[in-house]
Homo-oligomer: A and B are copies of this chain.
Amino acid sequence: MTDISPVLSAVDDNINSSLERLFELVRVKSISTDPAYKAECGKAADWLVRDLTSLGFNASIRDTPGHPMVVAHHDGVTPDAPHVLFYGHYDVQPVDPIALWDNDPFDPAIEDIGEGRQVITGRGTSDDKGQLMTFVEACRAYKQVHGSLPLRITILFEGEEESGSPSLKPFLDANAGELKADYALVCDTSMWDRETPAIAAALRGLVGEEIVITAADRDLHSGLFGGAAANPIHILTHILAGLHDETGSVTLPGFYDGVEETPANIKASWDNLGRTAESFLGEVGLSIPAGEKGRSVLELTWARPTAEVNGIIGGYTGEGFKTVIAAKASAKVSFRLVGEQDPAAIRESFRSYVRSKIPADCTVDFHEHGGSPAIQLSYDSPALTKAKNALSDEWAKPAVVIGMGGSIPIVGDFQKMLGMDSLMIGFGLTDDRIHSPNEKYDLQSFHKGIRSWVRILAALGGK
């Protein structure tokens, strides 16, 4: 393996110029969802192409119907070096309400927030410009010291992540041959805490369904019809209440097909993180775990499937009271999936169950709102183990392999469309206020993030 000490020293020596480059990028107002900032998005992509070109990457702007992609290639130190695809996004969230920002969101600065912490303020410092630049700066230091990179690297920077990624799938499809690598590195996630780096190995999938139940052909007066006419809210509440049994398990036939128990050593490592029900739920004013009994909150949110009602409406919902029996009632229901659960099978099981509860004189309409399987990486693949050890060398505490309760669509797309797994490694913190006023990125996240990537690149490039 390459000697990384001089590379790490270069990172430390150059941190100020690294910061200045990040500031330049943050100053570009690349808000992807607002057409008024279209030119700024193009400017951010141009800046990245120029910067990567200066590092020796073969980088180019790739137009899409929306904002451009940046694609860059660099050979590895040997022809048989592993090939990785690094992903990040240069677009940012809108900044309103602007009045809630303490500083100009597009004029980044270093601020001391006490407890020895310095942070970089500004929109996109954490999500995701600061994160993607940790990787770019690691490559820069590596090139500076060794004149080469230990891996063959393809970089993909997207400009529409904050606005639904409409161009991403067609782009992956059209450029699959160019983008396919041995695996992907995705830098858009957080650390466990300020001392503990994390690699996400499990992401829950999602099935979204909306059901609309129709009873009478008009709203009815509950005095005239109550007790005789079907009430769609009653039908709906029976259906939804029946989704869980008294142990909190989901009752749909076949729901747990493909759900495996988490390995004992992984569960033990999660228990060691000290995230109790009280600490986890206490932050949002709760204390008692709902859902399946007898499992920790981390297991419940990272490794167990759920059925959740995300919205419900029917009848009169304004001020006061109206004695109406509604014609319609509807609910939005989502299922978080784990392991090998099949989104299509779960959708069908839910629909069959719902249909079985609809009286013969009522009807139900289903509206599909997306479906994606869970991502479950091996908890002990060679690449993951190498990255984990590299991270553990850099930080105060050993890296932890975690799950994530939500989905990261890009990881599913890489798996489905390019047949490659992703290592999700990021240095954000939960107090970064991404998507909110006063977004920041810890200077430590940036600095040690760059150093982390140096270590990971070397480790992944090692035989």
Which chain A residues have a beta carbon within 8 Å of chain B's beta carbons? 204, 206, 208, 210, 215-218, 220-231, 233-234, 236-238, 240-242, 244, 277, 280-281, 284-292, 297, 300-301, 304-306, 308-317, 320-326, 329-332, 334, 336, 359-362, 369-370, 404-407
18 A–B contacts, CB within 8 A, in A order? A208-B321, A216-B281, A223-B301, A225-B284, A227-B292, A228-B300, A231-B290, A231-B308, A231-B309, A236-B237, A236-B312, A241-B242, A286-B361, A286-B362, A308-B323, A310-B315, A311-B324, A321-B369
Contacting residues, chain B, for A290 (C-beta < 8 A): 227-231, 234, 359
- Seed contacts A226-B301, A308-B325, A321-B369; 8 additional CB < 8 Å A-B pairs: A208-B323, A224-B406, A227-B300, A233-B311, A237-B241, A241-B242, A286-B362, A311-B315
> What residues of B have a CB within 8 angstroms of the CB of A206 in the complex?
223, 323
Q: Is the CB of B281 within 8 A of A312?
A: no
Q: B280, B309, B407: which contacts A237 (Cβ < 8 A)?
A: B309
- What residues of chain B lie closer than 8 Å to A304, measured between beta carbons? 227
Contact between chains at B240 and A233 (CB < 8 Å) = yes
**Which listed residue, B224, B313, B315, B404, touches A223 by the CB 8 Å rule?**
B404
With A and B bound together, what is the CA distance between A16 and B198 in angstroms? Answer: 92
Q: Are A310 and B288 in contact (CB under 8 A)?
A: no
Residue of B nearest to A317 (CB): B313
Q: Kindly list the 5 A-B residue pairs having the minimum CB-CB distance in the complex, ordered from nearest.
A: A223-B406, A217-B285, A311-B315, A241-B241, A321-B369
Q: Shortest beta-carbon distance, A11 to chain B, in Å?
A: 32
Expressed in whole angstroms, the Cα–Cα distance for A301 and B225 within the complex equals: 6
Give the docked Cα–Cα distance between A297 and B313 (Å): 27
Give the Cβ gap from A424 to chain B, nearest Cβ, in Å. Answer: 14
Bound complex: CA of A305 vs CA of B277, how far in Å?
43
